[in-house]
Amino acid sequence: MNNIDSIYTINLLGNSLRVWQCNVSDQLFQDMNYAAKKYNMNLKELIFDLDFLGAFSFRHWSEIGRSKEYHFFDLSNRNSIEIKQGRKKILKINSIELKQENLLFPIYNTNSSELILQKENSDDNLFILFQKEIGLFGKIELKTSNFDINKLSFEMVSNINLFEGSMLYQLNYEGKIIKIKSDDTLIQSIYSMIF
């Protein structure tokens, strides 16, 4: 019997959070803080003003300092994960089910770790920039002859300082990271924290 590979699509739909960790030199932080006070504004809000950033030769807030970007999928009743074979939907998971609370046996393979955001250098200042989004968090295509939900692992992360509970940040299939092919989200809000 021939095993013919099929295309399986995993769609993650709902609310998500994009986070930038920006390590900023003390000099740049002092200059930005001085400019913010000059305009009688709060740096936490002004950091998203593109004209303000342009004065420091930045086109976008993600360019500030040495940045790392993270993208998290919310585990809530409003979010869902669809798995399709071609056009046929074979499984729909409410993302909150990944928390697997009050179960005798786990239904899905999940791993959880804690995300720790810290300064790269003790002299740096740390800006954490948040962007809440809604829509298609990710579309993933998987080519396999026989999809097995038991080979799919949901990698979750928690951080008590940034968000409550756990969020999904990555999927693995047969021990390999699955890359997100595309996303299509709308921005709901932006905010920042400065350490």
- One DSSP character per residue, 63-76 reads GSSEEEEEEEEE-S
CB-based contact 8:69 (threshold 8 Å): no
CB-based contact 44:125 (threshold 8 Å): no
Q: Would you give the end-to-end CA distance of the chain in angstroms?
A: 61
Cβ atoms within 10 Å of 99's Cβ, excluding its own = 16
CB-based contact 194:125 (threshold 8 Å): yes
DSSP-based three-state secondary structure for 90 = strand
Spatial distance between the Cα atoms of 178 and 159, rounded to a whole number of angstroms:
23
Model confidence pLDDT, tens digit, residues 113-162: 888 777 777 778 888 889 999 999 999 999 998 899 999 999 999 875 66
pTM over 0.75: yes
Which tokens go with 65? 């300092």
> Does residue 65 or residue 191 have the better pLDDT?
191
Residue listed under structure tokens 């086109």: 59
Give the start-to-end residue ranges of the domains of the chain.
6-194
